[in-house]
Chain A
Amino acid sequence: KQEVTQIPAALSVPEGENLVLNCSFTDSAIYNLQWFRQDPGKGLTSLLLIQSSQREQTSGRLNASLDKSSGRSTLYIAASQPGDSATYLCAAHTQGGSEKLVFGKGTKLTVNP
């Protein structure tokens, strides 16, 4: 059974700092890994999708990496802004009989002005 863990559970940083969010998964048999952002009371916004054959993906100030063999992914946010404050969720898309996104509990990020 796939399990996804995100560390830390919460993070508070000053504006302008570069930061890294961590995601680990127990089963390397995945199609892809997807990072989402969730604002309070809102749905999930897709940020980046990394295919299992890829090592990283970039979108603006965001860079996500994937090391499938070690079961790890990181989301790097450069030059953080107060508008980046949200909960960030990673999800592993499992292979096999039950194909689905398995989510971590998220990292709640606060960027202070």
Chain B
Amino acid sequence: EAGVVQSPRYKIIEKKQPVAFWCNPISGHNTLYWYLQNLGQGPELLIRYENEEAVDDSQLPKDRFSAERLKGVDSTLKIQPAELGDSAVYLCASSFAGATEAFFGQGTRLTVV
């Protein structure tokens, strides 16, 4: 069974440019998370989806970040415009239901120059 798939693995962009990350969760998993991980820190939640509904986006900087999960499967996280401080690893995770075991993808390492 395939795990959580994220792309791209690495992205380098200039500040003020837009960037998008894609996530394909494990088949059948209804809950999808996007986490942000800064160097030397634990991941922090950006947004949580239950099927296609964003049920917790309280930590998502909505002035520049947006996310969608069409048809309750794949998800895209977008930043526009990117800032230097957005350089981090963006992790996607999924679980069968809200409080069951979560599985993470390999992450996208974003560098903003």
Contact = CB atoms under 8 A, between A and B. Distances in A.
Interface of A: 4, 31-32, 34, 36, 41-46, 49, 89, 91, 93, 95, 98-101, 103-106
B15 interface: no
Interface in B39-64: 40-45, 48, 56, 58
A31 B97 CA distance: 12
B48 A36 contact: no
- Which residue among B4, B43, B91, B103 has the maximum number of chain A CB atoms within 10 Å of its CB? B43
B105 interface: yes
Given A31-B98, A98-B56, A103-B43, 8 more contacts: A36-B104, A43-B91, A46-B101, A46-B103, A93-B99, A100-B33, A101-B33, A101-B43
A105 B40 contact: yes
Interface of B: 4, 6, 33, 35, 40-45, 48, 56, 58, 91, 93, 98-99, 101-107, 109
Which 4 pairs across A and B sit closest by C-beta, in order of nearness? A103-B42, A31-B99, A44-B104, A43-B106
Contacts of B101: 34, 46, 49
A97 B58 CA distance: 11
Given A43-B91, A43-B104, A49-B101, A101 B45 contact: yes
B99 to A, nearest CB: 4
B105 A99 contact: no
Contacts of A4: 42
